[in-house]
Amino acid sequence: MRALALKPRDEVLRETSGLPAPLAGRLEEVRSGWNLPDAAGDKLSRLLRLLAQDATAPTSVAGSAEALDTHVADSLTALSIEGFAGRRSIVDIGTGAGFPGLVLAVALPAARVDLLESVRRKCAFVERAATALELSNARVVRARAEEWGAGEGAEAYAAATARAVGRLSTVIEYAAPLLESKGVLVAWKGRRDAEQEREAARAAEVLGMERVVVERTEPFEGSLNRHLHVYRKHEPCPPGYPRRPGMARKRPLGR
């Protein structure tokens, strides 16, 4: 992981303080609805302000009200998965603008959350956000999932998350080498796709993973076709995995 140039902490905090009262009220409903720590509301408020103000944020959903639903509320649905909140080491694969990893780091202060991303500019934004939120339990790792899974990240995590990363079979292949025995993958997907799920089942069998549940979620009023796909690692990955970078996307297992 390479150090990135950041603004001074005090400057970041000044820029990200406060939300309009109606939005602050909605955020408090989300915080209390998930029984998050009291400090979580302030941290998530800073995150929403940063998304709205920072032109470098790598997301098309940056307005505070929309981001509260699309990013924050949606990320928190992982807490509905039985046992997830008790996981103490989490890797967020392809974290992008920091979701769901930053939100989960806020919600689960006792967990260590690694935010895995290969694109430098995205890492820079997530570093800035972690500074604004004063997250001591979050770390940005600039690496590809396959490289991290073949090195320091091998079997290092009790849980993996992935949101808007790729086909389900590809996500399973990224996650399996990173997970310890009985570790779980939570993958965010939209409308269910029978062919993708069959492909994922075949990939999971190869990689020592098994499907636990597909849970429909409604993170905010009016949200449609949102599902969490949960897999558990029950056997070690076979020799040859992870494959070299790019292969999981170019030649998905299970096809």
* Per-residue pLDDT reduced to its tens digit, 113-163: 999 999 999 999 999 999 999 999 999 999 999 999 999 999 999 999 999
Query: Within a domain: residue 17?
Result: no
Rounded to an integer, what distance in angstroms lies between the CA atom of residue 230 and that of residue 215?
8
Domain membership of residue 140 as a residue range = 74-250
| pTM for the model | 0.91
Average pLDDT over every residue of 159-180:
97
Query: Within a domain: residue 212?
Result: yes
Handedness of CA 200, 214, 222, 24 (dihedral sign): negative
pLDDT at 3: 38
Query: 27-42: per-residue pLDDT in tens?
Result: 999 999 999 998 999 9
Residue 81 amino acid letter: I
Query: Within a domain: residue 5?
Result: no
Query: Within a domain: residue 238?
Result: yes
Three-class DSSP labels, 79-92:
HHCCCHHHCCEEEE
Rounded to an integer, what distance in angstroms lies between the CA atom of residue 11 and that of residue 84?
34
For residues 105 and 135, is the Cβ–Cβ distance under 8 A?
A: yes
Q: Counting beta carbons within 10 angstroms of the beta carbon of residue 178, is it exposed (0 to 12), middle (13 to 18) or buried (19 or more)?
A: buried
User: Which stretches of the chain are DSSP H helices?
Assistant: 9-15, 21-33, 38-53, 64-67, 74-76, 101-107, 120-133, 145-150, 168-175, 194-207, 247-250
- 142 bridge partner residues: 117
Q: How confident is the model at residue 223 (pLDDT cuts 50, 70, 90)?
A: confident
pLDDT at 242: 95
Per the structure, the count of domains in the chain is 1
* CATH number, position 153: 3.40.50.150
Query: Within a domain: residue 30?
Result: no
Query: Within a domain: residue 105?
Result: yes
